[in-house]
A = this chain, B = another copy of it.
């Protein structure tokens, strides 16, 4: 799957991923009102609204981007109907040829991590039949429990040709509270990065490993160091746009050939119609606004890389 991701990035000349993180504030009001008219003031109405909203964006942008990253929390917030919308979104994106990174940040003790890995990347058997519960292509994983919480994900990736991005240095303001703490003279995130580099060596696609890392766009200096520590790993970089990261900050996350990193934007794309720059497209043009924002983001990163 890492080979498909790299191939799609090269083909579309776009090292970006669109974060499908639908919230009530981002979904145009007319979509929610339509669904409430049909389904009442229910969680089902919000599940349907999320799905219609996502489908509009996916249809508008899929030819220009290699991958999407739905943040499952935004779906889980609407309970079972929200998670049904998550699954429909994953399936639809895969039908459109997109690589799907499930931003699930799961991680637990070994046997429990194995259950999460089956849920999101693997299969489960019921009698003689094999099912794929959520079936993303990649998942994000939390490292706090150590290697035996990560290993079951790696095993499932090997078997099903999937991949993971392990949290190393996250984009939020307080990420340094534990991640920056010095251990034997090096911050915790470097220790995590070194372990990922070791896992990555055993899990190679044709050029990159399918064991990647998450490093926030808001921490470009750390990105530079981690790029060197994990030469075989793709780096998933959240925090561009709405969280404050800019194209120029991103250069050091990439290799010299412009590969090795994929930059995520969520609100900046899916809520573009709310930004002054694209407001002329109106909420009914939310998908067109997303496409314009995608093109602008690709141009911004391209100019930073040149």
Contact = CB atoms under 8 A, between A and B. Distances in A.
Contacts of A107: 105, 142
Interface centre among A45, A128, A134, A170 (most CB of B within 10 A): A170
A127 B46 CA distance: 10
A77 B124 contact: yes
Interface string A168-183: 0011111111110111
Interface centre among A83, A142, A144 (most CB of B within 10 A): A144
A144 B146 contact: no
Contact of A144 (B83, B108, B167, B195): B167
Given A143-B144, A181-B183, A108 B109 contact: no
Given A109-B172, A178-B188, A181-B183, A115 B74 contact: yes
A145 interface: yes
A84 B74 CA distance: 18
Contacts of A129: 41-42
A119 interface: yes
Contacts of A41: 126-129
Contacts of A21: 112
A180 B78 CA distance: 37
Interface in A142-164: 142-149
Contacts of A178: 143-144, 146, 188, 191-192
A305 to B, nearest CB: 26
A207 interface: no
Given A107-B105, A182-B183, A76 B119 contact: yes
A131 interface: yes
Contact of A77 (B78, B118, B177, B181): B118
B108 A45 contact: no
B112 A144 contact: no
Contacts of A60: none
A76 B181 contact: no
A172 B80 CA distance: 30
B145 A175 contact: yes
A118 to B, nearest CB: 5
A106 interface: yes
